[in-house]
């Protein structure tokens, strides 16, 4: 199998067959899980148009989401719950969610590219790549899987609690979200360690 290459010359791919990319979505929201994805792409079955999920339209993300699941060699989703976020803090919960995504892959990678500036503790070599979702195809694919997965969970939560507007703001701290939180109160899916939620609970 041929090896995928980055379009960015400063990203050096190791001479290994099974290289995973990992990204997270949902560090900033006040509600819901932080969701991660791990993806090992197939160099002989390329996917055109991979980039940072935030730069894609909803329609394009959905199309690529399906194509990644069809063409990737292996992929998996990991997550950490609001309770785990409250217990560990968002950074450590994100690292845990990344570890879970990698551990859930059917075949373990030989090397892992992580989006950002920090790697979780892993059993294989890894490298953190700042703006990796723009620079490494495997991380771009992971960002798309993670974002579509979490966005769909927010849409499902919106069906249960339509007054909060989760389908629109996806749990992020917007003016409309603050207004709903103040008016309607805290549901179990909120991250109770986050300052606006603490305020709504009367803990500040």
DSSP character string of 47-89: -TT---GGGS-HHHHHHHHHHHHHH-SEEEEEEE-HHHHHHH-
Q: What are phi and psi of 16, to 5 degrees?
A: -135, 155
pTM reported for the whole predicted model? 0.94
Query: Which pLDDT band holds residue 12 (cuts at 50, 70, 90)?
Result: confident
202 C-beta neighbours (distance < 10 Å), count: 7
Average pLDDT over residues 176-183: 96
**Alpha carbon distance 149, 161 (integer Å):** 19
**Gyration radius of the chain's alpha carbons:** 18
Per-residue pLDDT tens for 125-175?
Answer: 999 999 999 999 999 999 999 999 999 999 999 999 999 999 999 999 999
**Alpha carbon distance 67, 71 (integer Å):** 6
State how far Cα 177 lies from the chain centre: 21
Q: Which domains, ranges and CATH numbers included, belong to the chain?
A: 19-161 (3.30.420.10)
Q: Is 183 exposed, middle or buried (0-12, 13-18, 19+ CB in 10 A)?
A: exposed
Tokens of 53: 């999920």
Per-residue pLDDT tens for 63-102?
Answer: 999 999 999 999 999 999 999 999 999 999 999 999 999 9
The H or E element spanning position 34 is strand 34-40
């Amino acid at each position: 199998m041929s090896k995928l290459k980055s379009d960015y010359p400063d990203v050096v791919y190791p001479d290994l067959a099974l290289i995973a990319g990992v990204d997270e979505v949902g560090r900033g929201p006040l509600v819901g899980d932080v969701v991660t994805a791990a993806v090992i792409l197939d160099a002989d079955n390329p996917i055109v148009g991979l980039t940072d999920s935030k730069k894609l339209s909803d329609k394009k993300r959905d199309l690529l989401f399906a194509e990644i699941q069809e063409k990737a060699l292996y992929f998996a989703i990991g997550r950490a719950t609001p309770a785990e976020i409250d217990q560990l803090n968002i950074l450590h919960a994100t690292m845990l969610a990344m570890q879970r995504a990698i551990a859930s892959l059917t075949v373990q990678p030989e090397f892992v590219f992580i989006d950002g500036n920090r790697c979780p503790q892993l059993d294989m070599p890894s490298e953190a790549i700042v703006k990796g979702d723009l620079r490494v195809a495997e991380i771009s694919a992971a960002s798309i899987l993670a974002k579509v997965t979490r966005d769909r969970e927010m849409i499902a939560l919106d069906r249960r609690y339509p007054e909060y507007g989760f389908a629109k703001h996806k749990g992020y701290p917007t003016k409309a979200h603050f207004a709903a939180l103040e008016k309607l109160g805290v549901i179990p899916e909120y991250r109770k360690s986050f300052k606006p939620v603490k305020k709504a609970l009367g803990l500040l």
